[in-house]
Amino acid sequence: MPTVIDADAFRDRIDERRRGERSFAIVDTRPDESYESWRIADSVHYFYKPFHEFDVDDFEAETGLGPDDAIVTTCAKGKSSLDFAEKLEAAGYDDVTVLADGMRGWSGVYDRTTVPLPDAGDGPLDVVQIQRRAKGCLGYLVVGGRASGGSGSADSDGSNRLAIADSDGSDRIAIAVDVSRHGDEWREAAAAHDASIAAVLDTHVHADHLSGGRDLADDLGVPYYLPAAAAERDVAYAFESLARNETLDVGGVDVKALATPGHTDDGASYLVGRSALLTGDTLFTDSVGRTELQFAAGDGSEDAGGNDAGDTLGGDDERETAGAATGAERLYDSLHGTLLAEPDGVVVCPGHFAVANDGTTGDVVPGQPVATTVGAARRGLDVLDLEREAFVDRITATLPEKPPNYERVIAANRGVESPPDEVAAIELELGPNRCAADAGGESAADD
């Protein structure tokens, strides 16, 4: 009987192989279309349907593998690959392992790492990056010191300053940012820092994955915050609003909401003390956010001409093009007027890293921090050197492939739809994120 391992154990084997400590081949048995659209890096394709005749000679000719090779099999759900693994064992293959739940399981694999921060006088402060490896989604746990107590007061710059709830007895308090469906990852990160999560925030209404922010906040009995502009997107549930420059006191560390529209109208970034910027899908380490998804989905916000996005604007393509251009103009202002105005040493913590259809992640090494600095981004990203008009042209010239099911994902994150069960939720968000613009040019920004 083949060995069956869960996705976390498989992740560890992948890391061991990367370090040269283990050797094995990954065989993906899904149909061609599924394999080509999203797969595990360096996997080999061999289509197989359960209980069909298996020709070992054909398999070896197509894949170049043989009985001496260690093999891990995967498919969509783990069923076809288990039957296939049994066929391999019957054909004399001794080292065959099956990835439990297949690509469904792989979609839920996470890594956690602490982002190195400058010595900016913000201690105690930790920023934990929670990486969803197969999709490239990045969330954060911002851990401050002890709760300061008190309630809203005014900063010297006139911004509102809100102290969030006292600790539940933990040594430190924290906020969770851009939480996915798997909120236990944030709970475990908080427990590792002896911190209690006192609030949950999203940077915007996401298009590539289902937010777990509301569920985590409800489970913990803490506030759930969205940027104030989310109210204009017909969000159908109650949330606490974070206005421009409103600041949360997280155990003595100020977390300030910066309005950064462009990727979406409601986009915000969060400035963490003097140390870090959580930029959501506005600025990545190697690109900037794409700007048409909200408008293409027709989610109730206004389009470039001030009309409701549900109204006709000469057709969907014209609405998308106009929305992309308007979004790109706003994105340019958000980048140059807000994010790049911060000091060079501030660490940029993005909302995603790129995962290609073939599963590769470029210069990103999963499990290691994905970050740059304001200065490195300014100097290293070619698209940030462009003047406004050229920037808009570059961002809108080629619109990348959209995230799978993005319209339904947006609707779910606005609260107007809901997957009926866990299986439906898994299927809805399968595949890599595709939130970055095709910015072209070369990047020299440090990861």
Q: Sign of the CA dihedral 283, 286, 288, 294?
A: negative
Q: Are 91 and 156 found together in one domain?
A: no
Q: Are 364 and 224 found together in one domain?
A: yes
Gap between the Cα atoms of 447 and 371, Å rounded: 5
CA 313 to chain CA centroid, Å, is 31
Q: Are 388 and 304 found together in one domain?
A: yes
Strands 247-250 and 160-163: parallel
The answer to whether residue 447 sits within a structural domain is: no
The reported pLDDT for the residue numbered 435 is: 84
Q: Which two tokens stand for residue 390?
A: 């050229």
CATH code: domain of residue 378: 3.60.15.10
Q: Are 404 and 270 found together in one domain?
A: yes
CATH code: domain of residue 18: 3.40.250.10
Nearest to 76 by CA among 52, 48, 53: 48
The answer to whether residue 424 sits within a structural domain is: yes
The answer to whether residue 80 sits within a structural domain is: yes
The answer to whether residue 438 sits within a structural domain is: no
Place of tokens 């969907």: 316
Q: Are 99 and 128 found together in one domain?
A: no
Structural domains counted in the chain: 2
The answer to whether residue 244 sits within a structural domain is: yes
Classify residue 166 by its DSSP letter: P
Q: Are 37 and 124 found together in one domain?
A: no
The answer to whether residue 446 sits within a structural domain is: no
Gap between the Cα atoms of 417 and 195, Å rounded: 33
The answer to whether residue 434 sits within a structural domain is: no
Gap between the Cα atoms of 242 and 225, Å rounded: 6
Q: Are 40 and 18 found together in one domain?
A: yes
Q: Are 147 and 83 found together in one domain?
A: no
The answer to whether residue 50 sits within a structural domain is: yes
Per-residue pLDDT of the chain (447 residues; tens, 9 = 90+): 899 999 999 999 999 999 999 999 999 999 999 999 999 999 999 999 998 889 999 999 999 999 999 999 999 999 999 999 999 999 999 999 999 999 999 999 999 999 999 998 988 999 999 999 999 999 999 999 987 654 433 333 444 667 676 556 788 999 999 999 999 999 999 999 999 999 999 999 999 999 999 999 999 999 999 999 999 999 999 999 999 999 999 999 999 999 999 999 999 999 999 999 999 999 999 999 999 888 665 554 544 334 443 333 345 677 778 888 999 999 999 999 999 999 999 999 999 999 999 999 999 999 999 999 999 999 999 999 999 999 999 998 877 788 788 999 999 999 999 999 999 999 999 888 888 887 665 444 433
Backbone φ, ψ for residue 387 (5° rounding): -70, 165
Q: Are 253 and 128 found together in one domain?
A: yes
Q: Are 169 and 61 found together in one domain?
A: no
The reported pLDDT for the residue numbered 118 is: 94
Which of residues 86, 106, 126 is at a domain's end?
A: 106
The reported pLDDT for the residue numbered 298 is: 57
User: Domain containing 31: what range?
Assistant: 3-106
Q: Tell me which long-range contacts 219-222 makes (C-beta under 8 A, separation of at least 24).
A: 219/183, 222/164, 222/165, 222/197, 222/198
Nearest to 393 by CA among 437, 333, 334: 437
Q: Are 372 and 345 found together in one domain?
A: yes
The reported pLDDT for the residue numbered 313 is: 38
Which of residues 75, 106, 137 is at a domain's end?
A: 106
Q: Tell me which long-range contacts 443-446 makes (C-beta under 8 A, separation of at least 24).
A: 443/285, 443/286, 443/287, 443/380, 443/381, 443/382, 444/379, 444/380, 445/285, 445/286, 445/372, 445/376, 445/377, 445/379, 445/380, 445/381, 446/285, 446/372, 446/373, 446/376, 446/380
Which of residues 106, 131, 148 is at a domain's end?
A: 106
Q: Are 85 and 209 found together in one domain?
A: no
